[in-house]
Structure 1
Amino acid sequence: MSRNIYIKSLDVHLDFFSKSQFLQSYNKLLSDTCQGSYHLSKVLEEVEEEVSRRKRLTLDSVERQKYIQQNYTRLHPEIFDFQEDFLSPDFLRLVSFCKQDEARFEGVCAYLSETNVERTYTFPVFTAKFCRLFLEEIMHFEQSDVPKGRPNTMNSYGVLLDELGMYRFIDVFRENYLEPITSLLYPDWGGAMLDSHKAFIVQYGHGKDVDLGYHYDNAEVTLNVALSPEDSFEGGDLFFGAMRNEIDSQKNWKTYSHRPTVGILHRGQHRHGAYPIMQGSRYNLIVWMRASAVRNKKCPMCDAVPDLEETTGYGDGFTRQTMDVCSVV
């Protein structure tokens, strides 16, 4: 629970086992970045609050999910049961090709749009109609008075889709439609063995999160789908740098501009962020896909051998019934 904690005020990930360890391990960083004792105390407060949140994470999520199920009235109940006609015809053609026994990487590229970012791929995912209904449901949920979980340590605004009641929807989407694609594009990142997920909506706009710090995901493969109409926002482009363990240089960062209904697929450890949104509001669906066969060997966030605790649901993706106590995000 104490590793890889994102500190928003410093825009870094650090470990926290105790106050003395923290101050000693990061003495130079804290001296260089914290202006005075007040700022340092706020950083410590931020870290301790995050550790406490992680300890409560599973129980709090289960309680919210039960409350939402009993008290939230769905605006569009029909979208909670996965239907193939939610998907773009181009996406269905891509999936159909990938499911063929003779499908190979070279062939799948004909169904993808090129990007200037290494090993990232884009393609239409949903229909415009589904995105509209999905957004209306998300906004309806946001306006309700039911409790809401925070998507992750870096996004303060958005919706956890499992808590909303869309866990089966995402299961079907991942298992039957995304995994055939990732098995060809990312065989070296567990793309054929993605057995769990964390799915959520993020929102950017005035009074919400306006940008996203440079980071890597707690996932083997990530799908990011733009849901908002093109004329509803300006700015907020993604930028990609190097992989987590590669030498990085800002001059080599590449930019990707969102298009509604279109998703971008990338490796979870490919570092990225989002520039500030300038106008309007943007919603994105994020699906972190995880392969327990990969992460059971070592934690993808801290490289330590996983220390597992029993929990409900997918946890942090190490097995279907366990979670990693050092990198719950």
Structure 2
Amino acid sequence: MVQKLYQRLDPPLYTLDESYFHSDFLRITKYCRDELSPTMEGLLQIISKEEASRVYSFPVFTDEFCRRFLDELDHFERLDLPKGRPNTMNNTGILLAELGFDDHFMNRFREHYLQPLSALLYPEWTGSSGLDSHRSHIVTYDATGPTDRTDVGLSTHFDNAEVTLNVSLGKEYSDGELYFGEMKGVVVSNPRLYPYYHKIGRGVIHRGQHMHGAMDITDGTRYNIIVWMRSSSVRNKLCPRCDQSPTLIPFEGYGDGFTKQ
């Protein structure tokens, strides 16, 4: 219904173009994709910023792209159309597949840019199939709305993903930093939290099983684009939610990253 009735504000935005990317992101992904023998060590020299253990940040989108993307989201939110929840944890946000961003934007973003990057950073989580599916959504943190219907933060959790990319699109807000702890199931005597401070257009990439959360924003509104990337070859062996071997049944397409192979 959304894709049938929604009149896009900025139709060219729905087709990925390299002009949307920050030059640093293009340099990073070009190394991963085009270098004859790219290595994790060589990649980390380019990224240079490690926020926590195997958590990395780097510029992804230009300010101009972020502005155009926010204008599109504002346009959609003002309309009286159905809107699905982004996930089971967040109350407010937008599923990008509902708007039609998958075919010519998110699929290419994952396949040509995020998959080569993730394969070097997290080879144990990309598997033989690579990151062959995803769930992308916008999460909104709003300190100005009713507290029973809007999110201001998010408690410690792990993602239903093998690898996650989180990019701040901006708006005006105060506080609300992201924080990282240990991997799921790891218990330490003196746990430490590592904060990450959002900047417009900058992304942070991490393993989905890395425990993390979002501190409350105290003023304004923040929009983040979240890409949960999944690997069917990893999930077909072990469910990332319950750590059990799944019983697979024939299924056409994808179901949270599982395939029938």
User: TM over 0.5, yes or no?
Assistant: yes
Percentage of pairs with the same residue: 50
Structure 1 counterpart of 2:54: 119
**Distance 1:248-1:203 versus aligned 2 partners, 3 A rule:** farther
**Distance 1:278-1:237 versus aligned 2 partners, 3 A rule:** same
**Secondary structure of 1:315's aligned partner:** coil
**Secondary structure of 2:155's aligned partner:** strand
**Distance 1:310-1:282 versus aligned 2 partners, 3 A rule:** farther
- Counterpart CA distance in 2 for 1:172 and 1:316 is 19
**Distance 1:70-1:116 versus aligned 2 partners, 3 A rule:** closer
**Secondary structure of 2:113's aligned partner:** helix
- Counterpart CA distance in 1 for 2:238 and 2:137 is 24
- Counterpart CA distance in 1 for 2:70 and 2:158 is 26
- Counterpart CA distance in 2 for 1:134 and 1:80 is 10
Note if contact 2:32-2:43 (Cα within 8 Å) is conserved in structure 1. yes
- Counterpart CA distance in 1 for 2:252 and 2:22 is 33
Is residue 2:182 matched to residue 1:242? yes
Say which of 197, 203, 206 aligns to 1:257.
197
**Secondary structure of 1:126's aligned partner:** coil
Is residue 2:101 matched to residue 1:161? no
Say which of 75, 83, 88 aligns to 2:22.
88
> Deviation per CA, 1:106-129, whole angstroms, max 9, x where unpaired?
111122142341000111111111
Structure 2 counterpart of 1:151: 86
Is residue 2:134 matched to residue 1:194? no
Is residue 2:219 matched to residue 1:219? no
**Distance 1:157-1:312 versus aligned 2 partners, 3 A rule:** farther
CA RMSD of aligned residues (A): 1.7
Is residue 2:67 matched to residue 1:128? no
**Secondary structure of 2:170's aligned partner:** coil
Is residue 2:143 matched to residue 1:203? no
> Deviation per CA, 1:144-200, whole angstroms, max 9, x where unpaired?
111000011110100000111001211000000111111111111116710000000
> Deviation per CA, 1:213-261, whole angstroms, max 9, x where unpaired?
11000000000000014xx111110111110021156741111111110
Once the 2 structures are TM-superposed, how far is the Cα of residue 272 of structure 1 from its aligned partner? 0.3
- In terms of fraction of residues, the more helix-rich structure is 1
Letter in 2 for 1:188: E
Is residue 2:7 matched to residue 1:70? no
Q: How many residues align?
A: 253
**Secondary structure of 1:171's aligned partner:** helix
- Counterpart CA distance in 2 for 1:295 and 1:225 is 25
Structure 2 counterpart of 1:275: 215
For structure 1, the 5+ residue unaligned runs are 1-66, 323-329
**Secondary structure of 2:42's aligned partner:** helix
Question: Which segment is superposed worse, 169-178 or 298-307?
Answer: 298-307
**Secondary structure of 1:259's aligned partner:** coil
Question: Which segment is superposed worse, 181-190 or 301-310?
Answer: 301-310
Structure with the greater alpha carbon radius of gyration: 1
Once the 2 structures are TM-superposed, how far is the Cα of residue 139 of structure 1 from its aligned partner? 1.2
Note if contact 1:179-1:191 (Cα within 8 Å) is conserved in structure 2. no
Letter in 2 for 1:304: Q
**Secondary structure of 1:123's aligned partner:** strand
* Greater relative contact order (CA < 8 Å, ≥ 6 in sequence): 2
- Normalised TM-score (structure 2): 0.92
Once the 2 structures are TM-superposed, how far is the Cα of residue 83 of structure 1 from its aligned partner? 1.0
Once the 2 structures are TM-superposed, how far is the Cα of residue 304 of structure 1 from its aligned partner? 1.8
Once the 2 structures are TM-superposed, how far is the Cα of residue 84 of structure 1 from its aligned partner? 1.2
Write out aligned runs for 1:296-307 (5 A).
Answer: 296-307=236-247
**Distance 1:313-1:73 versus aligned 2 partners, 3 A rule:** farther
For structure 2, the 5+ residue unaligned runs are none
**Secondary structure of 1:283's aligned partner:** strand
